[in-house]
Amino acid sequence: MTEPTSCIFCAIINKKITARIEKESANVLAFHDTNPVAPVHILIVPKVHVNNIYQMSNEDSSLLGEIILTANFVAKANKLDQTGYRLVINTGEDAGQTVHHVHCHVIGGRSLAWPPG
């Protein structure tokens, strides 16, 4: 998918705006959320622009695997593997997706309520 000029996460990937980067590979970037909702709040994004996870398919299975395995790395690096954490992929309006470049939230470091609001 063509990268929209207005995409804030593409701007972070292309180092046009700064972010606190946690991990970077050829395909995936993990960086800290600017408005954290928990002591650890990290976003994992594919470097290729995709609006949301529903638009991903079998061809993206390796990339999807790398996103989830990067979440494992981030969890361990931040000691969340010992206490628990949540992965969230908001998709579409009703889920409150505000940035339309697919991203997986890694949220932890405190007790998390369920169900979400």
Cα torsion through 47, 41, 105, 103, rounded to 10: -20
Amino acid identity, position 72:
N
Q: Does the footprint of ligand 5GP cover residue 96 (CB under 6 A)?
A: yes
CA distance 80 to 75: 5
Q: Does the footprint of ligand 5GP cover residue 99 (CB under 6 A)?
A: yes
Q: How far is CA 63 from the centre of its chain?
A: 13
Q: Kindly state the smallest distance separating residue 3's Cβ from ligand 5GP, in Å.
A: 15
Site string for ligand 5GP, 33-72 (x = CB under 6 A): xxx-------x-----------------------------
Given the rule CB under 5 A, which residues bind Zn ion? 7, 9-10, 49, 101
